[in-house]
Amino acid sequence: MKLSLGLFQLFSIFSLLCSNPIFAQCLDDQKSSLLSLFGSAPTPSWTPKTDCCLWKGVTCDSSNGYVTGLDLTNCSIRAPINSTSFISLSSLKSLNLSQNLFNSSIPASLGALSNLTHLNLSDSGFTGTIPIEISRIKMLESLDLSRTDPSSPFYLRFGNLDFEYLVGNLSGLRQLHLDGVDISSPVPRSMGDLANLTFLHLSGIDSSFVGRLLCLEVLDLQNNSFHGKIPSSLFTHPSLKHLQLSQNQFDAPLVEFGNASSSLSILDLSDNKLQGLIPSSVFQLMGLDTLWLSSNDFSDTMDFSLLQNLTNLRRLDLSNSGLSINTGGINFSLPQVNTLYLSSCNLKEFPDFLRNMYLDGYGPTHIFHQSEKVVFQACGQDATCVNGMVGRVHDACDFSKTESSWVSACTPPK
Ligand SMILES: *[C@@H]1O[C@H](CO)[C@@H](O)[C@H](O)[C@H]1NC(C)=O
Ligand SMILES: *[C@@H]1O[C@H](CO)[C@@H](O)[C@H](O)[C@H]1NC(C)=O
Ligand SMILES: *[C@@H]1O[C@H](CO)[C@@H](O)[C@H](O)[C@H]1NC(C)=O
Ligand SMILES: *[C@@H]1O[C@H](CO)[C@@H](O)[C@H](O)[C@H]1NC(C)=O
Ligand SMILES: *[C@@H]1O[C@H](CO)[C@@H](O)[C@H](O)[C@H]1NC(C)=O
Ligand SMILES: *[C@@H]1O[C@H](CO)[C@@H](O)[C@H](O)[C@H]1NC(C)=O
Ligand SMILES: *[C@@H]1O[C@H](CO)[C@@H](O)[C@H](O)[C@H]1NC(C)=O
Ligand SMILES: *[C@@H]1O[C@H](CO)[C@@H](O)[C@H](O)[C@H]1NC(C)=O
Ligand SMILES: *[C@@H]1O[C@H](CO)[C@@H](O)[C@H](O)[C@H]1NC(C)=O
Ligand SMILES: *[C@@H]1O[C@H](CO)[C@@H](O)[C@H](O)[C@H]1NC(C)=O
Ligand SMILES: *[C@@H]1O[C@H](CO)[C@@H](O)[C@H](O)[C@H]1NC(C)=O
Ligand SMILES: *[C@@H]1O[C@H](CO)[C@@H](O)[C@H](O)[C@H]1NC(C)=O
């Protein structure tokens, strides 16, 4: 009976063996390349006698056993890389060496990994000039060389023309993360030709090419030294969803723009020196979910009622923006808003609409002190509560302590 395994069953077992990646056998040369990749330094939890396709961080092509992915994020690797080993790992499609401490330059032999689509060397302790060979990896779709820890002594820089070559050669890039990288040269005009780019994170550049990046969804230029005017084209860009320009020195008034984007969902202009009024076009950005305008030098009075068409808005910060907010005569609620900062907005009366606000399906709000802050709180049927902040106590009390309704609003709920 045991002998009567049918042909069909045999076939099933055979195809199971072949299709299940667990059975992908590591090739000897792939294994020895992995083992010598970091010289004689101990390799993270890799046991030489076992199938290397099962090692932590290693992915193989199940049909042929070649190593296609290596993710060694935060593996405490300190040794420099053995370039020879890299060359025999040329089937790699994804390589992540982020959060290590290589303390050496990026090996030029990376350029031999011609099938690589994803390369992540962020915070890896690589230092010095980025090898031009990276611009030969034509298949690259995602490149992350960022340094997110500003205190790290390791930083990368491009040689004179290298950034231009990179942009000129890697036309398939979708994500480019170069924050903290020294791009000594001006941004090349060909930057606008990266037609598939959806994510761009750079520092210290001029953004005039952005209008030509028609697929761009995320533009993060936070914490740089940009000044002057924010190009209006960023607010009318057809695909941009997330525009992060906080912590710069933009200081010119925002101007009205036509054809406001409907895709923009997060707009963060906080911590700048923006002046004047907020143009009404900003309140036509119908897709806005988050609007951060705090810590600026705006002037004049803004009618809160300008917000009434922003029906998707959930998070709003106007604190310390220089604006005086007029909440008088408001006849609408912001049922979807769950985070609201209005500190130092020179409010003259307690915003009535807050009292009846429902947050994310929670009940109506209470308003009370909490240490230095005035907080509003809404609780659901099951007694879970959400909090938001209206202002600092001294701001709030300036405008409202004489009003009996406010005094009661300041009393914490029992
Ligand atoms: C580098 O790797 C090659 C083969 O992958 C090996 O022969 C050589 O000994 C390694 N060099 C060092 C310094 O480990
Ligand atoms: C990196 O790994 C160490 C332990 O090896 C851990 O303490 C640390 O939190 C990890 N860092 C990150 C950013 O995951
Ligand atoms: C690169 O990918 C192509 C197509 O998938 C494949 O034919 C080729 O063998 C790969 N090259 C290496 C070195 O693995
Ligand atoms: C490592 O980088 C790759 C490519 O950028 C990415 O897909 C992967 O999620 C990263 N790994 C970790 C642990 O973040
Ligand atoms: C690179 O790896 C880090 C983990 O160290 C991850 O947080 C980051 O998202 C990765 N970058 C990309 C572009 O996938
Ligand atoms: C990096 O390597 C140099 C010698 O090449 C050494 O002096 C330095 O202390 C190392 N830095 C770190 C953070 O390990
Ligand atoms: C591509 O990179 C090479 C150097 O690797 C450079 O000589 C060439 O000019 C670059 N091409 C473009 C279009 O930038
Ligand atoms: C952009 O993406 C499309 C669709 O994914 C692809 O067909 C095209 O080749 C890509 N363009 C470049 C320049 O890589
Ligand atoms: C902003 O950049 C400066 C210097 O470039 C750095 O010291 C600071 O930590 C950065 N701030 C944040 C929040 O990243
Ligand atoms: C708005 O878009 C239309 C059609 O694309 C165009 O004709 C018009 O000039 C644009 N208006 C402004 C103010 O940009
Ligand atoms: C709100 O939208 C309506 C209809 O599109 C428009 O007439 C009105 O001016 C808008 N109000 C504000 C404050 O933008
Ligand atoms: C407030 O708006 C509602 C309809 O949205 C209307 O019925 C009501 O009369 C308005 N109240 C005032 C005081 O304008």
Q: Cβ distance 132 to 163 under 8 Å?
A: no
Q: Is residue 262 within 6 Å of ligand 2 at its C-beta?
A: no
Going by pLDDT thresholds of 50, 70 and 90, the confidence category of residue 109 is very high
Q: What is the pLDDT of residues 28-77, one digit of tens each?
A: 999 999 998 887 665 667 888 889 999 999 999 988 999 999 999 998 88
Q: What local confidence, expressed as pLDDT, does residue 305 receive?
A: 87
Q: If you measure from the C-alpha of residue 196 to the centroid of ligand 8, how many angstroms do you get, rounded to a whole number?
A: 6
Query: Tokens standing for 167?
Result: 């942009």
Pick from 6-10, 137-141, 216-220, 305-309 the range whose average pLDDT is largest: 137-141
Comparing CA positions, the residue from 229, 228, 227, 233 lying closest to residue 219 is 233
Ligand in closest contact with the CA of 113:
3
Is residue 120 predicted with pLDDT exceeding 90?
yes
Q: If you measure from the C-alpha of residue 201 to the centroid of ligand 9, how many angstroms do you get, rounded to a whole number?
A: 15
Pick from 269-273, 352-356, 365-369, 392-396 the range whose average pLDDT is largest: 269-273
| Protein residue with least CA distance to atom 9, ligand 8 | 172
Q: Considering only 202-216, 266-280, 349-363, which range has the smallest mean pLDDT?
A: 349-363
Q: Considering only 85-94, 106-115, 319-328, which range has the smallest mean pLDDT?
A: 319-328
Q: What local confidence, expressed as pLDDT, does residue 204 receive?
A: 47
Ligand in closest contact with the CA of 169:
7
Residue corresponding to tokens 């209206």: 390
Going by pLDDT thresholds of 50, 70 and 90, the confidence category of residue 378 is low
Is residue 398 predicted with pLDDT exceeding 60?
no
Q: Is residue 149 within 6 Å of ligand 2 at its C-beta?
A: no
Residue type, position 199, single letter: F
**Residues in contact with ligand 5 (CB, 6 Å cut-off):** 73, 96, 98-99, 120, 122, 142, 144, 175, 177
Is residue 186 predicted with pLDDT exceeding 50?
yes
Pairing of strands 365-370, 373-379: antiparallel
Ligand 10 probe mutation, 236, 257, 259, most atoms within 8 A of CB: 259
CA pair distance 375, 391, nearest whole angstrom: 7
Query: Tokens standing for 370?
Result: 């909490």
Q: If you measure from the C-alpha of residue 331 to the centroid of ligand 12, how many angstroms do you get, rounded to a whole number?
A: 6
Task: Decide: helix, strand or coil at residue 395.
Answer: helix
Q: If you measure from the C-alpha of residue 259 to the centroid of ligand 10, how many angstroms do you get, rounded to a whole number?
A: 6
DSSP 334-392: -TT--EEE-TTS--SS--HHHHT-B-TT--BEEEEEETTEEEEEEE-TTS-EEEEEEEE
Q: What local confidence, expressed as pLDDT, does residue 401 receive?
A: 33
Q: Cβ distance 142 to 112 under 8 Å?
A: no
Is residue 211 predicted with pLDDT exceeding 80?
no
Query: Tokens standing for 411?
Result: 């009393």
Q: What local confidence, expressed as pLDDT, does residue 273 receive?
A: 95
Q: For residue 19, how far is the Cα from the chain centroid?
A: 36
Q: If you measure from the C-alpha of residue 121 to the centroid of ligand 3, how many angstroms do you get, rounded to a whole number?
A: 22
Q: What is the pLDDT of residues 266-298, one digit of tens each?
A: 999 999 999 999 999 999 999 999 999 999 999
Going by pLDDT thresholds of 50, 70 and 90, the confidence category of residue 196 is confident
**Residues in contact with ligand 11 (CB, 6 Å cut-off):** 283, 306, 308-309
Q: What local confidence, expressed as pLDDT, does residue 390 receive?
A: 59
Ligand in closest contact with the CA of 171:
8
Q: What local confidence, expressed as pLDDT, does residue 1 receive?
A: 38
258 CA: nearest ligand 10 atom: 13
Query: Tokens standing for 36?
Result: 């010598």
Q: What local confidence, expressed as pLDDT, does residue 374 receive?
A: 60
In this prediction the pTM is 0.69
Q: What local confidence, expressed as pLDDT, does residue 319 receive?
A: 83
